[in-house]
Structure 1
Amino acid sequence: MSSLFSSGRRPTYLALIATLIIGVAIADWRTTAAVPFGFGYLLPIVIAGALLNRWYVITIAILCAVLAELFDGLEWSVPFGLTRDFLYVTAFTGIGLFTSEITERRKAAAVHLRNLNRENQARRDAEEQLENLIESSPVAIVTVDAGGSILFANNTAHRLLGLPAGALPGTGIAPYLPSLAKVPQQADDGRSFRTMMQCKGMRQDGEPFLADVWFSTYRTSAGPRLAAMIVDTSEDFRDREQTSFEQLLFGSRILVSAVSHEIRNICGAISVVHENLSRDTMLAHHSDFEALGTLTQALKRIAAMELRDREAFIASIDLHSFFEELMILLRPSLQDEDIRAAWSLPGDLPPVLADHHSLMQVFLNLAQNSRRAIAGRQDASFSISAHAHQGRVEIAVADNGPGVEDPSILFRPFEGSADSTGLGLYLSRALLRSFDGNLRYEPAPQGALFIVDLATDPDAPRKGQD
């Protein structure tokens, strides 16, 4: 059974109820029978109903009914006394239970009100935190109604679009992000959109920019809505294009240098033959023979021109992070063709010195060659493994394809098959050699096996060392 009432003031409440009951009983006893004083028991019963639980209220009501019957001075008989006692018990119990119910409901209402106040305060705090988060976010955030009108825009959105704070709400989104204005507020089947797109935007002053937009649609009582987060990617686009251009120039210099080297070798051979033939008196003074010599020397001088090579962006590269990026790039294409990929990299693999972009191009080229060789096989597999040895890291790239028929022509330019130019492996090895690396082919029992040889970073701390 639960506690009667607050344990801290229980003696006081018990004394008060007992005193009231005794006082009413004495008053009823001293009063004549013509004036029944039983109604006085209602006061302690009301107090008991507010403090005690129901069973105690019923007990006290019965006690008060007995006292009222004893001291009211009325004659007791079976038909009248039982009826009177039943009315006493019913009236006292009903008043007590009614008071108890009112008290319980008041307590429940007070608890509910406190909980409601706490929930309202928590909601206000959450809304304030969310508002602060949105307003301080470096990402532009806007909400748009079904008509394309902006309902809300944070400070970043105003700075992105070149407008003063508070100017966007009420204006249309179409002049700034036309693609976002064309997004349907809801799919034909009733589902909402939650996706990302890349599009072009326009600032207030007419300056265009590129944007990545993450948006979702949802429904409210006022109609469909669209919420979008917008990031300006113009700087990333410029950096990416600049890097691609520099890598293109770097690869072109390597290719031109290789072709120039081959031309110099040929011109050297032609010069030797020309010098031998010049001893023949019949050809020595022939104009066409002299022109051939002049052309050969001119071509040799052109081929001997040194191109200023751009230094590769050599840096210390953590191979585990590097291969995680490579895995992200390769996994979709390998899964689409049901190629099983295996990665075996020791945990203590040291960092290497390389140009990150060039190294990535090398592995992408090797993976593309392997994927082309094993396409359509039922048990197609592709693997990358690595080990470190004497300041070098050797990375094996293998597949279970048909292998290489003539390894002697692998690294020759323009020796490709019908579906390739033969430049990929040549440029890959040239790129690796630009930062003291190398690429070689090794015979394997099955398939093709290429080894990427890289120099470790002597200044990088080894794992397990401070």
Structure 2
Amino acid sequence: MFAALFKGNKRSVLLKAGVMIAAIALLDWRIVGEIPLGFLYLLPMLAIGFVLSPAEICLFAVLCTLLSEVFDDLRWTLRTGLSRDVLYFVAFLGAGFYVRSVSLSRKAALQHLHEIESQRDARREAEEQLTILIESSPAAIVTTEADGRVLMANEAAHRLLGVPQKELQGRIIYRYLPSLTNVSRYEASQHFRTVMQARGQREDGETFLADICFSTYRTNAGSRLTAMVLDASEEFRTHEVSGLQQLLVGSRIAIGAVSHEIRNVSGAIGVVHQNLAHSGSLNGNKDFEALGNLVVALERIANVNLRQPSDQASVIDLAALLDELKIVVAPSLQEEEITSRWLTEAGLPLVWADRPSLMQVFLNLITNSVRALSKNSDRVLNVTAKYDGTQVVVEFSDNGGGVVRPEDLFRPFQAGAAATGLGLYLSRAFMRSFGGDLRYKPIPDGACFVVHLTPALSTGQE
């Protein structure tokens, strides 16, 4: 019953309090005798304490004090009446302030409880999202204790390690990733956040190459290690096969260049041999006949067909390849204090090329520019890619002083070359193997090499 008096909005509570004050005043007026009923005003003061401010509570306390003094039958004197009124006022004011304090504390507690519930719900939702993320991740994610015992492993971890689902928990991770054993040897106070590549082993004993991103941390229950593991075996195999193919292609072209030189030399020797044979002075000489056989053998070796197959070419996104090139050469350019400027025209068409061979050509051209710029104080390298309407053109230009004898640039085994003189020769051969070309363009105080590429649509490929 009394609880209903304190419920409702401010207007309804004030209305109820007003009705109670009027009823108490009427009752106090109607009852004759020295029976003080002023204490009953505590009830409306308790009600208004929930909805009024401190100043408003003071006004109501004054009102209730006046009504108590006016309608009771007690005689008022300065000595007794003033002290009685003060006690009334303090009692009414204290009741209102007490209820107000209780109300504010209750509201704060409810708000705090609401915040706790909101945080709990947010934490639960975050945990659910994290669980979904971990379980749906294509990368293997494992959490272990300090001794290597697995606490949590997602579905990808079970697939990677060849363990049936839900059976990896409780096992020792060092059996599958032995390199993590070295992490546990360090002090527990040290924390690691790093990446490494190491050998892994599946449940059936098969080994694989693993890229491991791991971190260590401490909890109340002890040290923990969380690792994200990726199988790099396929990438490793692809890289090695690509490297072998690149080596074979380069070797084939290099041998072709050597064969060309041998063919020239053996042709000259053959002419001399024929001239001596026509003179007749060495007829019947066994050494002379053996020399003729050697010339024939050399010509046969030099005529072996070593053409590079072009079946490795495919459609290439040149803009993406140039971005990868920047990543590869950026450290060496910074080390040599070379300012590089890259300008790629927007909307370049796809090109037809062998991706590893094209990357090798670009790297060779930049390496040559770095070597040419080593003697300059102001070092600038410009790389520009554009479409001229028929071909995609990539220009590599520098201010390294230019080339003394441009006519010898693309010849193998040229005199004065930094190494064998095969770099530009092989680069041009690579380009021509998939329909491209490499040319030299002289510029003031520098050199410019122009790579010509065929757009993929013009080759009839989709």
- Given the two structures, how large is their TM-score scaled by the length of structure 1? 0.90
Deviation at 1:376, TM superposition (A): 5.5
Q: Which moved more, 1:212-221 or 1:400-409?
A: 400-409
Query: Structure 2 vs 1, CA of residues 293 and 460 (structure 1 numbering), >3 Å: closer, same or farther?
Result: closer
The Cα of 1:317 is off from its aligned counterpart by: 2.7
Find the residue that maps to 2:456 and give its secondary structure: coil
Superposition deviation, residue 60 in structure 1:
1.5
* 2:224 counterpart of 1:225: yes
Is residue 115 of structure 1 aligned with residue 115 of structure 2?
Answer: yes
Change (3 A) 1:446 1:142: same
Query: How far did 1:233 drift?
Result: 0.5
RMSD (Å), alpha carbons? 2.7
Q: How far apart, in 1, do the equivalents of 2:262 and 2:380 lie?
A: 40
Aligned mates of 1:47, 1:278 — CA distance in 2: 135
Distance 1:146 1:417 in 2: 61
TM-aligned CA deviation for residue 215 of structure 1: 1.7
Post-superposition offset of 1:389: 3.2
Mapped to 1, the partners of 2:19 and 2:349 lie a distance apart of: 90
* Equivalent residue, structure 2, for 1:18: 18
Work out the number of aligned pairs and report it.
Answer: 456
Structure 1 gaps of 5+ residues are 462-466
Which residue of 2 is the match for residue 412 of structure 1? Answer: 411
Structure 1 residue 259 displacement after superposition: 2.1
8 Å CA contact 1:260, 1:303 repeated in 2 = yes
Deviation at 1:302, TM superposition (A): 2.4
Distance change (3 Å), C-alpha of 1:99 and 1:194: same
Match status 1:391 vs 2:397: no
Does the CA contact (< 8 Å) of 1:54 and 1:97 recur in 2? yes
Per the alignment, do residues 121 and 344 of structure 1 end up closer, same or farther by CA in structure 2, a change over 3 Å counting? closer
Aligned equivalent of 2:159? 159
For the Cα contact (< 8 Å) 2:10–2:51, is it kept in 1?
Answer: no
* Structure 2 SS opposite 1:165: coil
Using a 3 Å threshold, how does the CA distance of structure 1 residues 148 and 458 change in structure 2: closer, same or farther?
Answer: closer
Distance apart, 1:133 and its partner CA? 1.0
Structure 1 residue 89 displacement after superposition: 0.5
Q: Which range moved further: 314-323 or 408-417?
A: 408-417
Aligned-residue identity in percent: 48
Deviation at 1:408, TM superposition (A): 3.5
The separation in 1 between residues aligned to 2:185 and 2:105, in whole angstroms, is 47
Tell me the equivalent position of 1:253.
Answer: 252
SS at match of 2:294: helix
How much has 1:380 moved relative to structure 2? 1.8
One-letter amino acid of the structure 2 residue matched with residue 230 of structure 1? V
Please tell me the residue identity of whatever aligns with 1:141: I
CA distance in structure 1 between the aligned counterparts of 2:12 and 2:130, rounded to whole angstroms: 50
Equivalent residues in 2 for 1:422-437, closer than 5 Å: 422-437=421-436
- Residue matched to 1:72: 72
Whichever residue aligns with residue 244 of structure 1, its letter is G
The 2-side partners of 1:129 and 1:11 are apart by 46
Matched, 1:334 2:333: yes
Conserved? CA contact 1:316–1:460, under 8 Å:
no
Q: Which residue of 2 aligns with 1:134?
A: 134
Aligned to 1:318: 317
Aligned residues of 1:186 and 1:192 also touching (Cα < 8 A): no
C-alpha contact (below 8 Å) 1:185/1:225 kept by paired residues? no
Match of residue 148 from structure 1: 148
Number of the residue aligned with 2:366: 367
Matched, 1:83 2:99: no
Find the counterpart in structure 2 of residue 105 from structure 1: 105
Q: Contact (CA 8 Å) 1:337, 1:376: kept in 2 or not? A: no
SS at match of 1:78: coil
Structure 1 residue matching 2:173: 3-state secondary structure: coil
The 1:350–1:132 alpha-carbon spacing in structure 2 relative to 1, beyond 3 Å, is: closer
Q: Is the 8 A contact 1:397 1:450 kept in 2?
A: yes
C-alpha contact 1:196 1:212 (8 A) present in aligned 2: yes
Give SS of 2:364's match. helix
- Kindly indicate whether the alpha-carbon contact (under 8 Å) linking 2:397 and 2:449 is maintained by their aligned counterparts in 1: yes
Deviates more, 1:425-434 or 1:248-257: 248-257
Give structure 2 stretches of 5+ with no counterpart.
none
Secondary structure in 1 matching 2:293: helix
Does the 8 Å CA contact 1:185/1:217 hold for their aligned counterparts?
no
Paired letter, 1:84: R
Question: Any idea what SS the aligned residue of 2:208 has?
Answer: strand
Contact 1:187–1:193, Cα closer than 8 Å, also in 2: no
- Per-residue deviation at 1:334? 0.5
How far, CA to CA, are the matches of 1:280 and 1:209 in structure 2?
Answer: 70
Shift of 1:138: 0.8
Q: Which amino acid letter does the alignment assign opposite residue 411 of structure 1? A: F
Distance verdict in 2 for CA 1:136–1:386, change over 3 Å: closer
Distance 1:90 1:175, change over 3 A: same
CA distance in 2, matches of 1:247, 1:351: 22
Cα deviation, residue 238, structure 1: 0.7
In structure 2, the residue matched to 1:213 is 212
Residue 50 of structure 1 aligns to a residue whose secondary structure is coil
Superposed CA offset, 1:342-380 (max 9, x none): 223333544332211111101101111221222263212
